[in-house]
Structure 1
Amino acid sequence: MTESFIYANGRISGAETTLLDQRMWQMLMSSASDEEALRLLGDTWYGGFMQFHSMEECFVKAMEATEDELIELSEDERLVRGILHRRDVRNARYIWKSLLSGTGPEGEIEIERSGLIETEILRKAVVSVEVRDELPPLFLRSLEELLENDRVTTMQVDRKMDLLAAAVERDELVEINSGFRSFVMTSIEQKNFLTAGRCSVDGVSRQEVCELLLPGGYHTEDEIVEAYQRRILPGLLAETPGFDGIVAAFEEALDAGFFLGFEKECDRILLELLEKGAFPVFGPSPLAAFVIRREMEIRHLRLLLAAKSAGVKEDRLKKRLPRG
């Protein structure tokens, strides 16, 4: 298996040069407007996708191209299945939210290209038991639990899709190796403390907090809820491996009531895990790490362009993005 990944890992090492470097991020962060930022992006790897009508479509096509390369190179079915099912989760969120909660005509939904589940199956499964049987078990269970409600809200769909996304990563990515297991657990842990922190600021009840937490982090949902009730969330966070350096940012967020600085530190930890994580030199892990690094890069570019369009100053942007 290791030898079969030598060529793939060599290709990925070459592809990593298409990720934006620190100098480009510095230029993007200091750009005077979204138009200037777009001109800078046009000279990067993303320039090849900017012929589309919108930057959102550009980013979708860029992500699809990255995932397509992984599919071409990877000989590990778990990796391909895990990455593509993450796309299926995103499509299920868009489609089921529209059909079940009535948030808008389904024809207006901006969905991505199908992963391993055709979007038509996701749509028809809402009303057809026969089609529903074609869904993978995790997706089937999520849809059936949503359909048990007489009236489905967008919040219920989002909650169920958050659980599904975490389940897909736990079931299909963590077994790649211990380094990637740490990444998945760290990501879930961050989401849980961010949720608990925001709930603390808003005065949400213990029961509601428990319903919002995801399984699979370093701490159980019960442990986080107990710390939430006792108002000792920072102390529990300090026990998480590798999180001791961001406890201060979490405490500041709780005091200030907004979490930009904490989100920045969380993203910084994830990027460090992806760039310097304990992954074998050869194998599926570097491929998965590259795809998720691209995904994070695109998410940060979306935030940057939205901020530039809204006239957000560079110093405020630096409080959120661990770039440049």
Structure 2
Amino acid sequence: MRSRILYALLLAIASVYGQAPPQAGRGGGTARVAPPARIVTFTAQPASIQAGQPVTLVWAAENPNATTIDQGVGRVTARGSRQVFPTATTSYTLTVTGPNNAMLTSSVTVTVSGGKAAAATAAAPVDLHVDLNGVYGFAGVRGAEPPPLKPGAEKFRIVRGPNDVRGNTTLGTDCKPLGVPQSFVTPYPFQIVQTPKLILMVFEYPNAIRFIPTDGRAHPVDPDPTWMGDSVAHWEGDTLVVDTIGFNDKTEVSGFMHTESLHVVERFRRIENGSLQYDVTVEDPNVFTRPWVLPTRTLPFRPEVDHVDEFVCETSKDYDKLFDKK
């Protein structure tokens, strides 16, 4: 019998998270004063290209209420990276709105050989009304060729033996959380429970949950490392963009271990038949020389499934049979 207790509990938690946070501090005291916003960095790499070549915008801000980049990029998370393809010399402006509506800006210019200067355009509008609720299947596809490793980072590569399907990866019978994006490649479904200010992603294996606020909050300055990381999200048109940091170093990413500096940016967009287009970029400055853009995947919609099942390792020890070599 499908367990409905977990689902009811998740809905209850989601409804609580969907409420506006109280303004008073602990014990009814005065709310603490928020620290001022600050732009830490905003760069374009490389800053000079030929027409048709990509440029990666990299930014970081502290304590913002909202962060946007013009030229059609739109609203972004407090720190991250985005690949753009300017066809003419273009200036990009990062705008950070902090407490008391204080506004900070920083600009970078990308020079495109043979191109004319592009006019500034407004940030793309944000659509908060896309419904992603439902149960989805997994997408086990081969990963893209990894970027070059940093000097001395070869130790992070996972070496698999000829009779070892998983090698020393975390994808096994230990029932530990798989992290991101590995949680989307197991042969078990996951469920999205969406409220106006919070999205929950519930993974049947190994009974793991991601709490993803969509209320505009930023990451904590120094989050405690966890298996699934600290996630915040926003909408860019019909696409949910999830930015995650604060991982521990116990999971793998497409054949590599990583450090606590892992940073993952995911993009979820509902397509035909209700399925999700899933794009993800991972970066770890201690392992890879540049961000790693993984192949686009499709997470199939499962309308015939009402909710994910309860998964308890003690009664589900046959998981390893799915990987037995024939």
Range into which the TM-score falls when normalised by the shorter chain: under 0.3
Q: Which has the larger helix fraction?
A: 1
Instruction: Considering Cα pairs closer than 8 Å and 6+ residues apart, tell me whether 1 or 2 has the greater RCO.
Output: 1
> What TM-score, normalized to structure 1?
0.27
Q: TM-score, normalised by structure 2?
A: 0.26
